[in-house]
Structure 1
């Protein structure tokens, strides 16, 4: 409804909200009060089919605050956030709205806007780290825009979940200019009486501005890739070949016009068949790929494998030693390296995602972490297709595992400084941590070795183990000078 000046008055917006609530209360649009817009009705059906309860209270929280920094850094929209803030935040602040930016899976990664409204937004879960897909919290602008891949406005009781009937939200999807895939959504949300009909056009235009800026950045990256790697094509001396981006786009080719715009590369494949039947060898580069005739494939020159040591057990924090230089590691890279060390034959992106994040993981996050690791450790150490290490690392957790499997409990205890990456919640890391912790404990207890048990009761994994202390007391002689201290510790554990 529009006023005489072409805008919606507060009274008209409230009146429209009342009409929508009558439709909602009358059997979600199936009664005599009328039906919602088709875009809303279809979204309600999808949401209900996903078992969303209209009386739900809040969306699920997926990312904790300490996890968001890394997720944001690896997301492609991170680079255009200054543009989004300069375009939308001042408007949102003045109009008592909040701006939200999601990833392709509907997770809110950024939020900004009217400070007076942020507390109210927190109360209904309009905050960073929450998931706003239709199957998580029903019909809403962010989730429905991602589901339809088009701009959407959801007003008042058009939201399936009753909690949001006092809100109006407008969202538009953002696409990757390289692949065309949806990478996220931009949303403006606020109280239902503050909506303006131009918000849909504003948010849509802002999404297009973001895509244009990403397109410019892509063109710059393409040119850098082309300049850096053109010598590879020149070295073919007239034989056909192509330089590809990391996503398979043809950046340059020889001769021109002999290759399609994009080549689909299967993960781990060293050859690809083009649409016209030609077979080409695939050679990975630091930032893309080179296609050459199989007969012109270059041999890999090995100048000595890098030396890599991983110290990931204990509470001191993970440490990486590369060619004699030790550095501290943050948790995410350590988790990735743990999985790669555990699987020397390599892992696909989907496998690594499942191991680190479970069923709700996003391969884009893993690709970002791999890119970051390759930048810090070197492309000659961390290989792709599949993801794998070029050298067998000296990893403390691997030495513990091997020693336990070979029945060498003392060596396992020597190699273990404590729990494996104790702060990690990655499913596969938790599983390996539990395996090593339980395996070491059982090996020590089964050994019936007083010296070994005494060392274990002073170890981070055994210092609070009452059974180990009691078993040690059984093995120690009554005149053993260590007995009093062990008995005292056991007494404290009983309290």
Structure 2
């Protein structure tokens, strides 16, 4: 047990000023976990005056791949359900961090997110104790247990206007630390219910991880191909951003689920004839990138199990979890590709998702669909949204106006030929 209860704002700041003057050699007047943390931080490069903010990872491609491959990515919808709505309503934010303190997701109240970015509490920032000083996610990772840090208990003065509560998440099978869940905000976080909320979310995440059948992480090829012009392939700790042609080849092999001949692969890749020598040259270059342990020949095949983001969306739809499927869908499957097999799977997945959204009759899901680039011109979806909105509401009038503005001939789901334009709009 800590020697002191949670301190008041004034008391904690007074203790911080007194201990900073003594270079934190003898941290007194604060809880033992805070005193111990301050002493650890004093030996690091963190500045207690807040003049040095946590570092921000600049390699967005690597960070993107890291988020997708992280074990907690699969339970993020559950965490959103437990903490996201409450955080947004109460003016707080929630975050999920990796074992080194890197913030992988930060979501919640929009104005609060803006203020949090001012002290670099944002996706990609590293909030370990060594980089950010005493703080709930960093100290929870350091101690391996739930932690609550309020105002002046933060080592860095840049965070003295904030309170936070965090709890670590462990692999239910091995006990290995996976990351940490955090709630940050104002005075409402300096309360027992806030700590209980993150504890409950961490336990729920561990229970969900135990329920989800998982493949052996070191033996799985992970593909990210939704809403992207190039596939991100993660295997054995390495991330490859493939060329457009290699992206098509890998995706075709993954969708086939078995080995294919060179002739079959050529047909799946293009409606035009692909010379055998050209295809062999591309596969040789691809094997040089991936290695012979991953790409086999005679027949051509990926030699390890594949897990794709498109697969996860399909599984969620099969389970009736439409909202989670829509959350996991950042856009069409490899939208610039014209490979026949890719086009067919792209169309099939989009039609399944669209049909589930339309069939749900859920106002929120319909709104999310039409607000997305690929659903902006979907006349049927706008009409469905008009029907479920309350009569006489401004939102219903706006939806009805949009539906009327769409020409019947163009108010259809996006067609394959329009995906390149959609991708270009999404980048602007």
Q: Give TM-score scaled by structure 2 length.
A: 0.51
Deviation at 1:53, TM superposition (A): 1.9
Q: Deviation string for 1:158-177 (max 9, x for gaps)?
A: 11111000000100000011
Deviation at 1:38, TM superposition (A): 1.0
- The equivalent residue for 1:103 is 98
- The equivalent residue for 1:40 is 34
Deviation at 1:50, TM superposition (A): 2.3
- The equivalent residue for 2:84 is 89
Q: Distance in 1 between matches of 2:147 and 2:36?
A: 13
Deviation at 1:93, TM superposition (A): 1.4
Match of 2:166 among 161, 168, 171: 171
1:319 aligned onto 2:246? yes
Q: Tell whether the 8 Å contact from 2:246 to 2:286 is kept in structure 1 after alignment.
A: no
How many residues are paired up? 248
1:215 aligned onto 2:210? yes
Q: Distance in 1 between matches of 2:158 and 2:199?
A: 26
Q: Tell whether the 8 Å contact from 1:47 to 1:135 is kept in structure 2 after alignment.
A: yes
Q: How does 1:293-304 map onto structure 2 within 5 Å?
A: none
Residues 63 and 79 (structure 1 numbering): CA distance in 2 closer, same or farther, change over 3 Å? farther
- The equivalent residue for 2:302 is 378
Q: Tell whether the 8 Å contact from 1:23 to 1:31 is kept in structure 2 after alignment.
A: no
Residues 145 and 336 (structure 1 numbering): CA distance in 2 closer, same or farther, change over 3 Å? farther
Match of 1:70 among 65, 88, 91: 65
Unaligned runs of 5+ in 1: 1-12, 223-244, 248-284, 288-311, 329-333, 347-369, 383-495
Name the SS for the 1:26 alignment partner. helix
- The equivalent residue for 2:200 is 205
Q: Distance in 1 between matches of 2:13 and 2:286?
A: 49
Q: Deviation string for 1:386-412 (max 9, x for gaps)?
A: xxxxxxxxxxxxxxxxxxxxxxxxxxx
Q: How does 1:75-474 map onto structure 2 within 5 Å?
A: 75-192=70-187, 195-217=190-212, 220-221=213-214, 319=246, 324=262, 325=265, 341=291, 377-379=301-303
Deviation at 1:57, TM superposition (A): 3.3
Residues 31 and 59 (structure 1 numbering): CA distance in 2 closer, same or farther, change over 3 Å? closer
Higher relative contact order (CA 8 A, sep 6+): 2
Deviation at 1:203, TM superposition (A): 0.6
Q: Tell whether the 8 Å contact from 1:83 to 1:210 is kept in structure 2 after alignment.
A: yes
1:26 aligned onto 2:26? no
Name the SS for the 1:185 alignment partner. strand
Q: Tell whether the 8 Å contact from 1:54 to 1:161 is kept in structure 2 after alignment.
A: yes
The structure in which a higher percent of residues are helix is 2
Q: Distance in 1 between matches of 2:146 and 2:40?
A: 18
Name the SS for the 1:319 alignment partner. helix
Residues 158 and 319 (structure 1 numbering): CA distance in 2 closer, same or farther, change over 3 Å? same
Q: Tell whether the 8 Å contact from 2:16 to 2:152 is kept in structure 1 after alignment.
A: yes
Q: Deviation string for 1:170-229 (max 9, x for gaps)?
A: 000000112211101000000246633211111101100000000111xx448xxxxxxx
Q: Give TM-score scaled by structure 1 length.
A: 0.44
- How much is the aligned-residue C-alpha RMSD, in angstroms? 3.8
Unaligned runs of 5+ in 2: 1-5, 222-239, 251-260, 271-283, 307-428
Q: Tell whether the 8 Å contact from 1:63 to 1:130 is kept in structure 2 after alignment.
A: no
Q: Tell whether the 8 Å contact from 1:60 to 1:131 is kept in structure 2 after alignment.
A: yes
Q: Distance in 2 between matches of 1:49 and 1:318?
A: 50
Q: Distance in 2 between matches of 1:47 and 1:24?
A: 13
Q: Distance in 1 between matches of 2:95 and 2:142?
A: 17
